């Protein structure tokens, strides 16, 4: 390519950023996709002006949980029922630490601790399984059983002896009185996101009050999505996909498959824990229902319906299914939901987003337009 002009330079930087975000492992690499993506994010930003941001924020939080499974299952082939374990551990840790340190610094620390403890739990369970040679359906069943262990255990922590410092675990009734989420440093700067209203001046609509937590959840979701896109399109992402496709062959290319799975499982666990922290902060409450079998199955359904090999599919399916599940009413609600799941998975086994992507780009494989994403300013000698 000729020497870069000034505009060329930032176009180069933009292309470099896009280069990192794109790759064969993600659906949607065309400019059209990014325009659509920008429009979607803008729509979500404007949503609270029209709809009820406070209740919609739940779907954004749960989408993070869907993303965590999409990463672990869709990209490294580990079908885990354990994401809700790390979700619950994250939520409970946030509750315990924030109840004991209720000032902004303490609450911020609680949020971080929740994510870290969730990640560590994932690492421990991951080490227990992957370094023990446990594979395929056995991993699924172990993670399934781990949710039952936690539910049975947490349900009976109701007595007064089950308090950590000030925080009573609360057993089946759940942990009451989690402090309101206020992030920042005490005395320096802090902002309360939950049960608070934010005045926005919107030309044409005047000042509008919106729920700040909605934007925190939206920011976390968009950041996580883009972060994961970079991860799955990076070199490590390519190894993850190789492990998913054929872990024995990948081992023969010198990769430590166990370590790859453990790292992905830990990152997935931390992401699920982040979702749990936001869930507990939003509802100011968390109970052992988060470890229930039906709740543990939901992420598998979101990712299967959305598309196993697509991060975007997991996000869209989570928001769509949960929005529908919550708003549909009447006795027939569960019947309709069950029937829909049946039809979706039988008719579109690959999931919606890959099917749509296939339709749009006309070819079975979303081929990346940029010929080589590594560095745009290449000079090819040969």
Partner 1 sequence: MSGDGFSRRQFVTAGGAALVSGLAGCSGGGDGGDGGAATDTMSSADTVKIGVLEDQSGNFALVGDPKYKASMLAIEEINNDGGIDGKQIEPVARDPQSDNQRYQELTREFISEEEVDVLWAGYSSATREAIRPIINRNEQLYFYTTQYEGGVCDKTTFAVGPTARQQLGSVLPYLVEEFGPKIYTIAADYNFGQLSADWVKVLADENDAEVVGEEFIPLSESSFGSVINNIQDAEPDFVMSMLVGANHTSFYEQKASAGLDVPIGTSTAMAQGYEHRRLDPPAMENIYAGVNYMEEVPTESNTGDGGFVDRYYDMYPDADYVNEEAETNYFSTYMYKEAVEQAGTLEQPEVIEALESGISLGTERAPEAPEGETIELDGATHHVDHHMWVLRADGEHNIEEVTNRKIPEQFLSNTVGCDLTQEDEQTQYTPVDYFEEAE
Partner 2 sequence: MVNGLNLAFQFLDSFAFVVLAAAGLAIIFGIMGVINLAHGEFILVGAYATTFAVTAAGLPLPVAMVVGSLVTALFGIAVERTIISGFVPNWIGQRTVGRDLIEPLYDRLADSMVATFGLSLVMVQSARILFGNSIETVGTPFGNVAYGEFSYSTYRLVLAGVSILVLVAAYYVFTRTTFGTRVRATMADEQTAKALGVDTERTYMLTFGIGSGLAGLTGALFAPVLSMQPTLGDQFLIEAFVAVVVGGPSVVLGTALSGGVLGAVSATVTNLTDSTTFGRIALLLAAMLALRFLPGGITGFIERVRSRRQEGE
Partner 3 sequence: MSSEAERSEASGQASGETASSEPERSEGSKNASGTDTTMDPNVRETPAGKATGDRTDTLLQTDDLVKRFGGFTATDSVDFSVDEGELRCLIGPNGAGKSTLLKLIVGTLEPSGGRIYYDGQEITDMEPNERVRSGISMKFQVPSVYGELSVRENARLPVQQLADGAERRRRVDEAIENAGLAGYEDVQASALSHGQQQQLEIGMAASLDPDLLLLDEPVAGLSVDERTEIAERIRRLNREEGIAFIVIEHDTDFVGEIADSVTVLHRGDVFREGSIEEIESDPEVRRIYLGGEQ
Binding site for partner 2 (CB under 8 A): 73, 79, 128-129, 132-135, 137-138, 140-142, 144-146, 148-149, 152-153, 156, 293, 297, 300-301, 304-305, 308, 331-335, 337-342, 345-347, 349
Kindly tell me which residue out of 140, 186, 251, 289 binds partner 3, with binding defined by CB under 8 A. 251
Of 256, 335, 338, 339, the one binding partner 3 (CB under 8 A) is 256
**Cβ closest to partner 1, residue 132 vs residue 173:** 173
Asked if 142 touches partner 1 (CB under 8 A), the answer is: no
Helix (H) / strand (E) element for 182: namely strand 182-185
How big is the chain by its Cα radius of gyration, in Å? 22
* Options 58, 218, 239, 314; binder of partner 1; rule CB under 8 A: 58
**Rounded to an integer, what distance in angstroms lies between the CA atom of residue 285 and that of residue 213?**
15
Residue 351 C-beta: closest distance to partner 3, Å: 14
Reference 71, options 215, 217, 213, 269; nearest CA is 269
Closest CA to 365 of 223, 241, 225: 241
Question: Residue ranges of the alpha helices (H) in the chain?
Answer: 6-21, 31-50, 53-69, 75-76, 83-100, 104-130, 136-155, 212-233, 235-245, 247-251, 257-283, 293-306, 311-327, 333-347, 352-361
Q: Which does 267 bind (CB under 5 to 8 A by kind): partner 3, partner 1, partner 2, none?
A: none
Burial of residue 34 (number of CB atoms within 10 Å: 0-12, 13-18, 19+)? middle
Among 23, 170, 237, 306, binds partner 1 (CB under 8 A): 170
52 vs 57, 58, 63, 333, CA distance in Å?
9, 11, 17, 22
- Residue 218 interacts with partner 1 (CB under 8 A): yes or no: no
Q: Does 20 bind partner 3 (CB under 8 A)?
A: no
Phi-psi region of 103 (alpha: psi -120 to 50; beta: other; left: phi over 0): beta
Least gap, CB of 290 to partner 3 (angstroms): 34
What letter does residue 256 receive in the DSSP assignment? -
Number of residues that bind partner 3 (CB under 8 A): 29
Among 189, 253, 294, 327, binds partner 3 (CB under 8 A): 253
Name the minimum Å distance from CB 372 to partner 3: 7
Residue 332 touches partner 1, criterion: CB under 8 A: yes
The residues in 276-305 that bind partner 1, with binding defined as CB under 8 A, are 283-285, 287, 289
Give dist(CA 293, CA 90) in Å, integer.
Answer: 18
Quick one: which of 56, 81, 130, 302 contacts partner 1 (CB under 8 A)? 56
Encoded tokens for 374: 């590594």
In terms of CB distance, is 137 or 379 closer to partner 3? 379
Interface region with partner 1, contact rule CB under 8 A, candidates 89-97, 205-213, 262-270, 342-350: 205-213
Q: Which lies closer to partner 2 via its Cβ, residue 73 or residue 214?
A: 73
Q: Is the dihedral of CA 321, 322, 328, 332 positive or negative?
A: positive
**Options 39, 208, 223, 342; binder of partner 1; rule CB under 8 A:** 208
* Residue 116 touches which member of partner 1, partner 2, partner 3, none, C-beta under 5-8 Å by kind: none
Positive or negative: CA dihedral 296, 27, 267, 350: positive
Q: Choose the one of partner 2, partner 1, partner 3, none that binds residue 51, judging by a C-beta under 5 to 8 angstroms depending on kind.
A: partner 1
Q: In DSSP terms, which residues pair with 183 in a beta bridge?
A: 191
Say if residues 212 and 183 touch (Cβ distance below 8 Å): no
**Nearest to partner 2 of 55, 156 (CB atom):** 156
Using CA atoms, how far apart are residues 195 and 212, in angstroms rounded to an integer? Answer: 9
Residue 168's H or E segment, with its range, is strand 167-168
Q: How far apart are CA 271 and CA 290, in angstroms?
A: 16
Task: List phi, psi (to 5°) of 13.
Answer: -60, -45
Instruction: Tell me: does residue 382 bind partner 3 (CB under 8 A).
Output: yes
6 binds partner 3 (CB under 8 A): no
Q: Which residues bind partner 3 (CB under 8 A)?
A: 24, 235, 238-239, 241-242, 245-246, 248-257, 364-365, 367, 372, 374-375, 378-382
Q: Which residues bind partner 1 (CB under 8 A)?
A: 48-56, 58, 152, 155-156, 158-160, 170-174, 176-177, 195, 197, 208-211, 283-285, 287, 289, 323-324, 326-334, 336
């Amino acid at each position: 390519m000729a020497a870069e002009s000034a505009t060329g330079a930032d176009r180069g930087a933009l292309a470099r950023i896009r280069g990192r975000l794109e790759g064969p492992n993600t659906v949607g690499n065309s400019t059209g996709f990014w325009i659509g993506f920008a429009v979607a994010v803008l729509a979500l930003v404007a949503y609270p002006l029209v709809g009820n941001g406070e209740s919609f924020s739940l779907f954004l939080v749960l989408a993070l949980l869907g993303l965590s499974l999409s990463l672990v299952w869709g990209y490294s082939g580990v079908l885990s029922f354990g994401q809700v374990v790390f979700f619950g551990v994250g939520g409970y840790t946030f509750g315990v630490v924030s109840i004991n340190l209720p000032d902004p610094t303490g609450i911020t620390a609680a949020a971080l601790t929740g994510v870290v403890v969730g990640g560590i739990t994932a690492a421990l369970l991951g080490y227990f399984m992957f370094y023990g040679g446990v594979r395929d359906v056995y991993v699924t069943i172990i993670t399934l059983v781990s949710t039952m262990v936690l539910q049975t255990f947490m349900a009976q922590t109701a007595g007064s002896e089950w308090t950590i410092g000030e925080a009573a675990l609360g057993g089946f009734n759940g942990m009451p009185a989690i402090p309101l989420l206020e992030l920042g440093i005490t005395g320096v700067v802090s902002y309360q996101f939950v049960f608070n209203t934010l005045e926005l001046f919107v030309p044409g609509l005047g000042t509008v009050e919106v729920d700040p937590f909605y934007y925190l959840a939206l920011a976390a979701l968009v950041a996580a999505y883009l972060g994961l896109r970079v991860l799955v399109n990076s070199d490590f992402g390519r190894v993850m996909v190789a492990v998913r496709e054929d872990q024995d062959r990948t081992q023969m290319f010198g990769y430590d498959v166990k370590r790859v799975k453990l790292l992905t499982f830990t990152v997935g666990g931390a992401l699920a824990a982040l979702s749990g922290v936001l869930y507990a902060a939003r509802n100011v409450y968390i109970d052992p229902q988060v470890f229930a079998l039906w709740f543990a199955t939901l992420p598998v359904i979101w990712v299967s319906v959305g598309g196993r090999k697509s991060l975007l599919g997991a996000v869209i399916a989570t928001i769509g299914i949960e929005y529908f599940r919550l708003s549909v009413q009447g006795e027939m609600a569960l019947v309709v939901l069950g029937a829909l799941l049946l039809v979706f998975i039988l008719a579109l086994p690959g999931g919606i987003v890959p099917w749509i992507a296939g339709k749009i780009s006309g070819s079975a494989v979303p081929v990346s337009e940029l010929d080589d994403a590594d560095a745009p300013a290449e000079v090819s000698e040969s």
